[in-house]
Chains A and B, each alone.
Chain A
Amino acid sequence: SNVSLCVQSEPASLPAVDISTKTNGPKQDSLFDEDTEDLFAEATEEVSLDSPERDVLLSEGPSPAITPITPPISVITPRIGHAHDDMFTHSSFDEIEEEEGGDSFDIHISVSDPEKVGESWNNLERSGTSMSLFRQKDFSVKRRFSDFLGLHSKLASKYLHIGYIVPPAPEKSIVGMTKVKVGKEDQSSNEFVEKRRSALERYLMRTVKHPILLKDPDVLQFLESSELPRAVNTQALSSAGILRMVNKAADAVNKMTIKMNESDAWFEEKQQHFENLDAQLRKLHASVESLVCHRKELSVNTAQFAKSAAMLGNSEDHTALSRALSQLAEVEEKIDQLHQDQANADFYLFSELLGDYVRLITAVKGVFDQRMKTWQKWQDSQMLLQKKREAEAKLQFANKPDKLQQTKDEIKELEGKVQQGERDFEQISKTIRKEVSRFERERVKDFKMIIVKYLESLVQTQQQLIKYWEAFLPEAKAIS
């Protein structure tokens, strides 16, 4: 069977961007009519309605941006639109799971060496792996920030609407980017570059940790191809933009007809759980950000005090005391560096962990909403079928054999749709259950690992403090 990686073979396969609120079924014509214009404009600063990448996302037939890859060993079944593909069944899902068992997860990615090329930065991305998925063991490629965003937008459009939690890419930061573009070589722009580098690394690692996403051809191409196709190398939608679109669609769904009759308490319980978690994590994140800020202040103030103490030592006319004060100044200077390092650990370990999870939970909420949408679609088909059946009944008595036949044909088609709708709903429910339990497992692992690392950084700081003060104590005692 067909393994071409044509993702958007039909507009109907992109319900993620099907935000029609006025009709009950998927639209067959252009997805970007008047209603949706605003959403797109909101999603990104740069993309206009006529820009090329829109076409990339929407085009019928094989998209030039997504090149087919013949995988080396295993047959990879891509996640493609389910409207026409009967490979999208339980069995294909299980196939992938079997493959997972074969190759243990062993891949490490590092993002480094940011370099400025023209107007933007390239990051060097190095992957080391022993997985059979890849052609080589060690390889590196250059990627622009927009490439990362492009990867996310592709993954989101392929997987979000069928219930997969796609990790969000790092945010664009206008302020930070402007500074960097202008070529300001100061500490804050260096910090910005490092922040971004670290965020991109975490993003990629999270993406490849996902067993389905790892095997996605776009991901493989992103990691391996020495050059990504031109069309992708333009400014892309931000992750936030995509999620906003997805969530806005979901909001539209919610405001619509009946609230879904939740037959499965698990979903309700989980949704509540994520709401609570979201609120708690945001609160904690805010406190940690405050700590980072105050620790940086402490570092600056300690440095200033150190300088002042040195001056005081200089002016002190008792020799031994003068010496001790200079030593105190030196200790405080070392301590200010310690505070600076600790503030970095506070940020890169603790704060960014929390920030990442706040964003991830937005994606989780998104898939729950997608399930609602799927249910709604199924219900809509059912209602339509009902109407058609009523129409058929009426037509039985009107002498219009052509119309009757047409209606019978439409009914047949709708029955198919209803069945598909039910299958889709069951499938997305099943997927979400799997995804959520995977997500929770990863969450536990992540938090444990990173918080332990963070505590180790605190240990190091205290050990250094002890060293410094132990060295100073005899100096103080030597004053006579």
Chain B
Amino acid sequence: MMQEGLDDGPDFLSEEDRGPRAVNVDLEMDATLQVDISDALSERDKVKFTVHTKSTLPNFKQNEFSVVRQHEEFIWLHDSFVENEDYAGYIIPPAPPRPDFDASREKLQKLGEGEGSMTKEEFTKMKQELEAEYLAIFKKTVAMHEVFLCRVAAHPVLRKDLNFHVFLEYNQDLSVRGKNKKEKLEDFFKNVVKSADGVLVAGVKDVDDFFEHEKTFLLEYHNRVKDSSAKCDRMIRSHKNAADDMNRIASSLYMLGTQDSTDLCKFFLKVSELFEKTRKIEARVAADEDLKLADLLKYYLRESQAAKDLLYRRSRSLVDYENANKALDKARAKNRDVLQAENNQQLCCHKFEKISESAKQELVDFKTRRVAAFRKNLVELAELELKHAKGNLQLLQSCLGVLKGNT
């Protein structure tokens, strides 16, 4: 279908999108390991990402290299982190969402079917817009996959993960087929159990004030972010609809202008031109709000879930620790398998303490990242809104000047 390079359509996304795309996360990129997605290709139903690595670490054969990866391979990597017991105490960077061009493709198809019912100009215009929309979605999915890799590369422990290195370096297909039905079902049940446990665990008050506070905070925050994200999306959709209407109004005014025999023809043509330009600005406003606000909220929806998962893992290890204590008491009482029980208890205790320690740091980091990301995006949002409003205002005022001068 469409094959895209990355640098098409400079009009559509803001300039901030070039360069490091870590818009939602404030990351320190250091020279020892730098990862980015240097290219991407959209084919029929899959996207191929070119993952480019620059590293001074000795584990890699070269200092700079690239491989091609697909979405499933990112998921494989993410899941391998989640399943790794050693990483139980870290917030696992959330997996990027699946590239979803279905809606956009459907619209392009509908446009093709409706070609007969509109003028050539209208058709060309709409086609250009839908293509731009497609491109925007494409750029977004690239950004989200890149952010995932950057987060991993920035994490002091995860960056050393072997699977990660394989992912970066192995230049053949990793052959991670998508999960089959059985595995998907297993996952489903795992999640059901987890959430049931989650409820259980959430009910038990934690001795540690810090974690108690974090638990309360995260549970509420996650729900609120979910709600805000959904409402933000709806708001932006209305904005896009209004911009589409302006497009049609511009076309109609143009027709009126070319057909009118009175003084109004020049008038209509000028106003049509205005609507054409102002609509472009409105579309940019919607796109920027999407990037700076909607994407931000979506990202922190996923991150807060990852943080909740961490808390859950800690709670589970606490439950294990408490069970091990009970087992030890029992063993001592019966004076049977005491050593084994002691060892187990030690293991559980150690595990719990290790998770608690790293979790604390992770949660503090999470807060720091979150505050920085919100700050950056809210500032940029306000600046862009101002830029567009001022641009719009200037357009309107200059048009009014011309129209009033003629009247």
User: Interface of A with B (CB < 8 Å)?
Assistant: 273, 276-277, 280-281, 283-284, 287-288, 290-291, 294-295, 297-298, 301-302, 304-305, 308-309, 311-312, 314-318, 320-321, 324-325, 328, 440, 443-444, 447-448, 451-452, 455-456, 458-459, 462-463, 465-466, 469-470, 472-473, 476-477, 479-480
With a cutoff of 8 Å between Cβ atoms, the chain A residues found around residue B263 in the complex are: 444, 448
Main DSSP-derived SS at the B contact region: helix
CA distance A452 to B399 in the complex (A): 10
A280-B259, A305-B228, A318-B367 as given contacts; A452 in contact with B400, CB under 8 Å: yes
CA distance A325 to B300 in the complex (A): 14
With a cutoff of 8 Å between Cβ atoms, the chain B residues found around residue A294 in the complex are: 238, 241-242, 245
With a cutoff of 8 Å between Cβ atoms, the chain B residues found around residue A280 in the complex are: 252, 255-256, 259
Q: Are B382 and A472 neighbours in the complex by a CB distance under 8 Å?
A: yes
> Is B383 interfacial (CB-CB < 8 Å)?
yes
Closest partner residue, chain A, to B250 (CB atom): A287
Q: List which B349-382 residues lie within 8 A (CB) of chain A.
A: 367, 370-371, 374-375, 378-379, 381-382
With a cutoff of 8 Å between Cβ atoms, the chain B residues found around residue A308 in the complex are: 224, 227-228, 231-232
> Is B390 interfacial (CB-CB < 8 Å)?
yes
CA distance A465 to B390 in the complex (A): 9
CA distance A277 to B252 in the complex (A): 11
CA distance A456 to B274 in the complex (A): 13
With a cutoff of 8 Å between Cβ atoms, the chain B residues found around residue A480 in the complex are: 375
Closest 10 interchain pairs by CB? A298-B238, A291-B245, A284-B252, A476-B378, A479-B375, A462-B393, A287-B248, A301-B235, A305-B231, A294-B241
> Can you give 12 A-B contacts (C-beta < 8 A)?
A277-B256, A287-B252, A294-B238, A308-B224, A317-B213, A321-B370, A451-B403, A455-B274, A458-B278, A462-B390, A473-B386, A479-B375
> Is B276 interfacial (CB-CB < 8 Å)?
no
With a cutoff of 8 Å between Cβ atoms, the chain B residues found around residue A281 in the complex are: 256
> Is B172 interfacial (CB-CB < 8 Å)?
no
Q: Are B228 and A312 neighbours in the complex by a CB distance under 8 Å?
A: yes
Q: Are A291 and B249 neighbours in the complex by a CB distance under 8 Å?
A: yes
CA distance A324 to B253 in the complex (A): 42
A311-B227, A312-B224, A466-B386 as given contacts; A284 in contact with B392, CB under 8 Å: no
With a cutoff of 8 Å between Cβ atoms, the chain B residues found around residue A291 in the complex are: 242, 245-246, 249
Q: Are A318 and B397 neighbours in the complex by a CB distance under 8 Å?
A: no
CA distance A283 to B378 in the complex (A): 40
CA distance A312 to B225 in the complex (A): 6
CA distance A467 to B18 in the complex (A): 29
Main DSSP-derived SS at the A contact region: helix
With a cutoff of 8 Å between Cβ atoms, the chain B residues found around residue A463 in the complex are: 393
For chain B, the count of residues having a C-beta within 8 Å of the partner chain is 58
With a cutoff of 8 Å between Cβ atoms, the chain B residues found around residue A314 in the complex are: 224
Contact of A284 among B228, B256, B375, B399 (CB under 8 A): B256
Contact of A298 among B242, B374, B385 (CB under 8 A): B242
Closest partner residue, chain B, to A280 (CB atom): B256
CA distance A295 to B246 in the complex (A): 11
Q: List which B218-257 residues lie within 8 A (CB) of chain A.
A: 220-221, 224-225, 227-228, 231-232, 234-235, 237-239, 241-242, 245-246, 248-249, 252-253, 255-256
Q: Are A321 and B375 neighbours in the complex by a CB distance under 8 Å?
A: yes
Q: Are B262 and A469 neighbours in the complex by a CB distance under 8 Å?
A: no
Q: Are B262 and A440 neighbours in the complex by a CB distance under 8 Å?
A: yes
Closest partner residue, chain B, to A343 (CB atom): B242
Q: Are A305 and B382 neighbours in the complex by a CB distance under 8 Å?
A: no
CB distance from B91 to the nearest CB of A (A): 16
Q: Are A473 and B383 neighbours in the complex by a CB distance under 8 Å?
A: yes
With a cutoff of 8 Å between Cβ atoms, the chain A residues found around residue B175 in the complex are: none
CA distance A283 to B256 in the complex (A): 10
CA distance A280 to B252 in the complex (A): 7
With a cutoff of 8 Å between Cβ atoms, the chain B residues found around residue A277 in the complex are: 256, 259-260
CA distance A465 to B385 in the complex (A): 8
Closest partner residue, chain B, to A472 (CB atom): B382
Q: Are B261 and A469 neighbours in the complex by a CB distance under 8 Å?
A: no
> Is B311 interfacial (CB-CB < 8 Å)?
no
CA distance A38 to B386 in the complex (A): 61
Q: Are A284 and B253 neighbours in the complex by a CB distance under 8 Å?
A: yes
